[in-house]
Amino acid sequence: MENISGIYSLSELKQAIAADPQIWRPLVFTNGCFDLLHAGHVRYLQAAKLLGRSLVVGLNSDRSVQTIKPQPVGAPARPIVPQLQRAEVLAALRSVDGVILFSEPTAAQLVEALQPEIYAKGGDYKIETLPEAAIVHSYGGRVELIQIEVPSSTSAIIHRILNL
């Protein structure tokens, strides 16, 4: 699955990290839907990248997004943008070194497999409620919550468009 755009399968990413740990480690990992990319996402990813040497984004697959994002009455089904397009846009960002799709509701399996030194999430989360946090702490990694600089959300953007 790896190609010029920096989209990896789990096995490809694990091989790349093992082959060149000096390029990848310390690894920062984050995850999300990133449906309609906005300035809040970009600044968050830039801040996450600064925590380590490389940044890998776990991207919720279309199926996963449909499971975790409720569809309000009258709103379009989520995601708005298909998974491969979302992955390509993320991979094109200067701060992102790799993108990996996952279909589970959480990124716990990816965190366990990749064992990033730093697991990053937005400041609107709490460490105690992150399912990935216990895994990160179990191997000595750390969880970082990044302050939200630009308060924006895909749901708010969709709501605004629908109410024009």
User: Considering the entire predicted model, what is its pTM?
Assistant: 0.91
pLDDT at 16: 96
Confirm whether 62 is domain-assigned. Answer: yes
Partnered with residue 25 across adjacent β-strands are: none
Q: What is the CATH number of the domain that holds 90?
A: 3.40.50.620
Question: Is the residue at 1 inside a domain?
Answer: no
pLDDT, tens digit, for every residue of 20-39?
Answer: 999 999 999 999 999 989 99
Within a domain: 99 = yes
Give burial (CB, 10 Å; 0-12/13-18/19+) of 53.
middle
Mean pLDDT, all residues of the chain = 91
Domain total in the chain? 1
Tell me which residue range forms the domain holding 31: 7-162
Predicted confidence (pLDDT) per residue in 66-75, tens digit = 988 877 676 6
pLDDT at 143 over 60: yes
Tell me, yes or no, whether 2 lies in a domain. Answer: no
pLDDT recorded at residue 4: 55
